[in-house]
């Protein structure tokens, strides 16, 4: 089952990149409504 990408996927990707660069970790999760979680780097 493949999820459809949102129309503003590029904007979302930029946001994820910014979050990742700011010391956060992006974790893909199909069970999440958006399909991904953002975790702090200090979190496990």
Q: Mean pLDDT for each 10-residue chunk of the chain (44 residues)?
A: 64 76 69 63 50
3 found inside a domain? no
4 found inside a domain? no
35 found inside a domain? yes
Q: What is the pLDDT of residue 44?
A: 42
Q: What is the Cα–Cα distance from 29 to 18, expressed in whole angstroms?
A: 19
26 to each of 8, 9, 32, 40, how far by Cα in Å? 18, 15, 12, 9
Q: What is the pLDDT of residue 9?
A: 73
2 found inside a domain? no
20 found inside a domain? yes
Number of domains making up the chain: 1
26 found inside a domain? yes
Q: What is the pLDDT of residue 15?
A: 77
- The residue segments making up the domain with residue 26 are 9-40
1 found inside a domain? no
């Amino acid at each position: 089952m493949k999820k459809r990408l949102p129309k503003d996927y590029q904007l979302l990707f930029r946001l994820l990149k910014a979050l990742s660069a700011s010391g956060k970790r992006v974790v893909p999760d199909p069970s999440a409504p958006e399909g991904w979680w953002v975790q702090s780097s200090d979190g496990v």
